[in-house]
Amino acid sequence: MTGKRRTARPGIPLLLTLLAGGAPSGFGGGFTSRPAATRELLLPYLVFLHPLPEAAELLARGAARLTVSVSESNSFAGTTAFRSLASPVPGARVEVDRALVDQFRQDHPDADLFFTDGEVLWTDLGFRLGVNEWLEVGVDLPLVRYTGGVLDPSIEGFHDTLGLPDDGRNDFERGAFHLALFLGGSDLFVEGTPSDFGVGDLTLTAKIPLFRGPDGAPAVAGAAYLKLPTGSEARLLGSGSLDFGAQILFSRRKGRHAYHLSGGAVRLGDWDLVPQIDPEFLWLGSGTYEVLATGMTSVLVQAGITASPFRKATTEDLADPSVRLKAGFRRHFPSGLALEALIEENLARTNASIDFGIHFALAYGFGESPAGTQAARGGPGRRPRE
């Protein structure tokens, strides 16, 4: 025995700390949690207002956040009888055109027809500004592009590998874009991509706190939305009418965990391209769970449901709600930058939702802190409990 005091070696704890980037062990120490800024991208829902999921917290006075979200979705959905068609040529794929649609309607005179096949590239430029502790305002400008099914081969291969049902996808031509909507006296058929990148309908937002939690940050908030008809309805970039809606937002954080719930309704205006249809109220809801897996990287799981605006105009598949599940990660940076990536899959109702989607977003906060917290007031922040 030498009598020397033994010192603990940093070893693995130090390595883990370095890998974690020395970041806080929970939300609130400079990192913010919020739902992924995604929406239902199925045509024809895309032309209507669909409020994005949000957190209940408001930005501090003078703080701002800029978000660029990019989502690519692939859809193959529609009336079951139409998706069950087979090509008259053995081994060939069904080629959808106006003649095929007219023949189907002649063979099924009492049936509605809905069919969408193709992809949507949806980019949202979002900006939020904290006016004071009682008000946050924002604007969302979408850029929309329609394409053929670039992801068709990958999705078919995925279904075949796992033995999943294809719902007729393998029997239809790849790389095509079609939209058919014949219900309530409407007559809409689009063949080929209707637009390259174009500006969609602009949305204005306002959020106010309704109830504050023990730390001063809003636990429940209300948000209002107004969609302006800035996009061309002829190019499927907008509805041509005003839409307005509201959401109730709930957020809860505890250490590394964050929970967000939202629910709301939208009063839809007319869709000028098909004035025969009177859209119903659009009901929607979402739930998000985010956990800091390391000091700077979090895992997100988000579910969403949207009621069909055509649920009273048809008894076919388009009347069903859209149910979606997203999962992915978000990387936080001390500079206020956050990068997220998620994949999306439909649940329960395969004929009224997109088939598969990919989502990326880059957000940057300028002086961002939830209003009402010690950080927002310039005081020291508290380290959250594990």
Q: For residue range 85-113, what is the model confidence (pLDDT) as tens digits?
A: 877 777 788 889 999 999 999 998 888 88
- Those residues whose C-beta lies under 8 Å from the C-beta of residue 368, and which sit 6 or more positions away, are 32, 59, 60, 63, 64, 65, 336
73 pLDDT band, cuts 50/70/90, is: very high
113 neighbors 182 (Cβ within 8 angstroms) = yes
- The pair phi, psi for residue 224, each rounded to 5°, is -120, 150
* Total domains present in the chain: 1
Q: Which of 18-22, 193-197, 312-316 has the lowest mean pLDDT?
A: 18-22
Residue 126 lies in a domain: yes
Residue 376 lies in a domain: no
Residue 383 lies in a domain: no
Q: For residue range 245-284, what is the model confidence (pLDDT) as tens digits?
A: 999 999 998 889 999 999 999 999 999 988 888 888 999 9
Tokens of 234: 């002829």
Residue 375 lies in a domain: no
67 neighbors 37 (Cβ within 8 angstroms) = yes
Pairing of β 135-147 and β 198-199: antiparallel
Q: Which domain holds residue 169?
A: 23-366
Residue 115 lies in a domain: yes
Residue 5 lies in a domain: no
Q: Kindly tell me if the per-residue pLDDT of 351 is higher than 80.
A: no
Task: State whether residue 53 is helix, strand or coil.
Answer: coil
What single letter denotes the amino acid at residue 76?
Answer: F
What single letter denotes the amino acid at residue 310?
Answer: F
Q: Kindly tell me if the per-residue pLDDT of 16 is higher than 70.
A: no
Give the ranges where 75-185 is alpha helix by DSSP (H): 80-83, 98-107, 152-162
* Cis geometry, peptide bond prior to residue 44 (ω within 30 degrees of 0): yes
Residue 16 lies in a domain: no
Instruction: Specify the CATH number for the domain of residue 143.
Output: 2.40.160.40
Residue 15 lies in a domain: no
300 neighbors 270 (Cβ within 8 angstroms) = no
Tokens of 180: 């058919």
